[in-house]
Amino acid sequence: MTLAALTPDTIFALSPKIQVLPVVHGSGDMAHIVREIIVSRPIDCVAIPLPPSVQTLVEEGVDQLPVISLVVLPEKNDDGTSGCSYVPIDPCQPVITGIRSAMSEGIPLAYVDREVQRYHPVSWVGPDPYTL
């Protein structure tokens, strides 16, 4: 593939049938792009980067939008104390907008992240979303 052949439709294509859409979490602009992509082309399935165990609660929260909610997942910290991780159900979250758009379009969802006992966040400083 030449540089001239790289387009938004090909640059993130893993195969003719699988395309990746990287997002910046918490970006309303990215959420808008996710929605536009989902409603503008034929899609067989949307892979969601959350574990299957949260599917029911997340989709119940999405059904309640525009009311913003939170799915809280209890955890045990390394020192034995209680903690939690959470999934904000907010329309400015690109993943939530992807779920909402797919649900409204009748597109199947696949929750593909692994189940873990404790979420370990990875610190990462990314580029300005407007440069993407």
Give the model confidence (pLDDT) of 53-68 as tens digits: 999 999 999 999 999 9
Say if 119 falls within a structural domain: no
Say if 132 falls within a structural domain: no
pLDDT confidence band for 128 (50 / 70 / 90): low
Burial of 19: CB neighbours in 10 Å, binned 0-12, 13-18, 19+: middle
CA 96 → CA 24, 30, 57, distances in Å? Answer: 12, 11, 12
Say if 16 falls within a structural domain: no
Based on the structure, what is the number of domains in the chain? Answer: 1
What domain range includes position 59? Answer: 43-114
For residues 15-38, average pLDDT: 88
For residues 9-18, average pLDDT: 78
pLDDT confidence band for 101 (50 / 70 / 90): very high
Burial of 65: CB neighbours in 10 Å, binned 0-12, 13-18, 19+: middle
Phi, psi of 15 (to 5 degrees): -160, 175
Bond from prior residue into 66 cis (ω within 30 degrees of 0) = yes
In whole angstroms, give the CA distance from residue 71 to residue 105: 23
Instruction: Please tell me which residue, 40 or 126, carries the higher pLDDT value.
Output: 40
pLDDT confidence band for 132 (50 / 70 / 90): low
Say if 8 falls within a structural domain: no
Say if 58 falls within a structural domain: yes
In whole angstroms, give the CA distance from residue 82 to residue 79: 9
